[in-house]
Amino acid sequence: MYIERIRKNMLRSFVNSLPYPIKQGAKYIYGVIPPRFRYGKAFWDTYNFLQESQWWSREELEEYQMQQLEKLLKHAYENVPYYRSVFDERGLKPKDIQDFDDLKKIPYLTKEIIQNNLEDLVARNYTRSKLQYCTTGGSTGIPMGFYVEKDITSAKEWAFMITQWNRVGFRIDNRCVVLRGDVVRSTNKGKFWEYNPVNKNLILSSYHMSDETLPNYILKIREFRPDFIQAYPSAITILAKYMRKNNIKPFSGLKSLLCGSEILYPWQRELLEETFQCRVYSWYGHTEQVVLAGECEKNIYYHVFPEYGIVELIGKNDKTVTRENENELGEIVATGFNNFTCPFIRYRTMDMAVPTNTNCECGRDYALLKRVEGRLQELVVTKDKRLITLTALIFAQHFKAFSKIKEMQLVQEKEGQLIVKVVRTSQYSANDEKEILSKMQRAVSNGLDISFSYVSHIPRTKSGKYKFLIQKLSIEFGD
């Protein structure tokens, strides 16, 4: 959702209160203003900085990070009541944090702490009018609210986004199809898209894709001739499956698919690249804006932006998972540099990742993540209390049955039990169920009782996202 927010923020002051036709007209006018003037100083300062800093050496990047950290800690100590008491209780002063290791002296910031202490987390040197309220999923399913700096945080974020998309050829004002959970206003009239002339985006509804409507979607996309498609992996997968089934040829001129906000699984990448005949580019980030990482032109590892914040991977017993610990899973704990109104220091994202010690041939000396495994809540618990990642359970294997499935979702309500919800196609048979069952059982050494439930559709979350696993158990890691 944060992309949508960025887009909306940039326009807000300009067109907010106008009736629709005038608003649309105003957007056309706004859209012809050269980007140089259309985007503000915060955007261009960040963008221009990143054009240089991405080629810095690791030493230079770390030096920059320490400078930013020093600034952030001093600010948090002086202006943020929550951090003042965190420091005071421990007898700490900002100058006691001299290197990345010292950062461990500061306790984690959890979603729960934020939910209970929001007002104390707001920096006193910002007036209310400079704050913008955001929400995201909380630890218990209750949304978590926090603040960012109005217009500034989102402008910086947008500069980072464009910088990473540049790696696969994206330029400001390229034509994009957007399939990212947006609500389109005219769907009741049978029109499932709307055009945003400001960023030359054709926004498609992700909520109305069916065998009846998809032919129209495809016609519209062809007519629009997009350079890129920005999509939730689950939404673009529905389109890809339909195109494959009906032998529909790819869109000519399409340079890349830009996938984010949900995990992109290996089988999806394969399907999408085959169907659209172009590169699939994936990135990882979230509304909290403490970490952003994306693929590059040379490989599919996630390059963590060191200019964006400090990322630690925390494994079992609070031990840091370093880049030498290939294949070890750690929780992403991050400190963000882009938002001083409500600083997140050592924020537990509850997302898991696996590092790699590779140096990428693109030349950026960034830390790399081999995989982002998704939320802690995306692990399955076996009868003997083992935690199994979805990658091991499903995605590292090849299932013939998947070509006969429209959608699938796993639900865990009890330890050692798993419900597999399946939306079948007409070709699906009992053998397919057998295949899924036996391969999943093999992956968990028969540690799960697996049952199947055949349904007509898989519901989406409030923000329109698809979740592969509904994990109703609360999973703890690191103790």
Window 98-137: contact mask with Zn ion (x via CB under 5 A): ----------------------------------------
Q: Which residues contact 26 (CB under 8 A, 6 or more apart)?
A: 14, 15, 18
Cβ proximity to Zn ion: between 28 and 55 the closer is 55
Shortest separation between residue 363's beta carbon and Zn ion, angstroms: 7
Window 236-265: contact mask with Zn ion (x via CB under 5 A): ------------------------------
Shortest separation between residue 287's beta carbon and Zn ion, angstroms: 26
Segment interacting with Zn ion, rule: CB under 5 A, options 116-124, 321-329, 353-361, 449-457: 353-361
Shortest separation between residue 298's beta carbon and Zn ion, angstroms: 5
Cβ proximity to Zn ion: between 113 and 367 the closer is 367
Shortest separation between residue 468's beta carbon and Zn ion, angstroms: 27
Cβ proximity to Zn ion: between 134 and 353 the closer is 353
* 6/153 Cα distance (integer angstroms): 9
C-alpha radius of gyration, the chain, whole number = 23
Shortest separation between residue 333's beta carbon and Zn ion, angstroms: 23
Contacting Zn ion within 361-390 (CB under 5 A)? 362
Cβ proximity to Zn ion: between 235 and 354 the closer is 354
CB 275 within 8 A of CB 257: no
Q: Which residue type does 198 have?
A: V
Segment interacting with Zn ion, rule: CB under 5 A, options 78-86, 185-193, 289-297, 428-436: 289-297
Q: Find the helix packing angle between 58-79 and 41-53, rounded to 10°.
A: 140
* 218/307 Cα distance (integer angstroms): 39
Shortest separation between residue 359's beta carbon and Zn ion, angstroms: 9
Short-list 334, 328, 368, CA closest to 351: 334
Cβ proximity to Zn ion: between 151 and 295 the closer is 295
Token pair, residue 453, equals 């439930």
Shortest separation between residue 66's beta carbon and Zn ion, angstroms: 24
Q: Which residues contact 213 (CB under 8 A, 6 or more apart)?
A: 192
Shortest separation between residue 205's beta carbon and Zn ion, angstroms: 34
Cβ proximity to Zn ion: between 360 and 392 the closer is 360
Cβ proximity to Zn ion: between 362 and 458 the closer is 362
Cβ proximity to Zn ion: between 217 and 302 the closer is 302
Among residues 92, 300, 360, 411, which is the contact residue for Zn ion, using CB under 5 A?
360
Shortest separation between residue 51's beta carbon and Zn ion, angstroms: 16
Shortest separation between residue 33's beta carbon and Zn ion, angstroms: 33
Shortest separation between residue 408's beta carbon and Zn ion, angstroms: 32
- Whole-angstrom CA distances from 264 to 49, 335, 417, 467, 468 are 29, 24, 25, 12, 11
Cβ proximity to Zn ion: between 118 and 362 the closer is 362
Cβ proximity to Zn ion: between 259 and 314 the closer is 259
Does residue 419 belong to the site contacting Zn ion (CB under 5 A)?
A: no
Segment interacting with Zn ion, rule: CB under 5 A, options 272-280, 297-305, 413-421, 428-436: 297-305
Cβ proximity to Zn ion: between 16 and 57 the closer is 57
Segment interacting with Zn ion, rule: CB under 5 A, options 169-177, 205-213, 275-283, 288-296: 288-296
Q: Which residue type does 392 have?
A: A
Strand 368-375 versus strand 347-356 pairing type: antiparallel
Contacting Zn ion within 184-223 (CB under 5 A)? none
Total interface residues for Zn ion by CB under 5 A:
4
* 371/362 Cα distance (integer angstroms): 18
Window 308-347: contact mask with Zn ion (x via CB under 5 A): ----------------------------------------
Shortest separation between residue 360's beta carbon and Zn ion, angstroms: 3
Among residues 296, 314, 350, 443, which is the contact residue for Zn ion, using CB under 5 A?
296
Cβ proximity to Zn ion: between 83 and 281 the closer is 281
Backbone phi, then psi, for 318, in 5-degree steps? 65, 20
- Whole-angstrom CA distances from 259 to 178, 425, 429 are 10, 26, 32
Residues in contact with Zn ion by the rule CB under 5 A: 296, 298, 360, 362
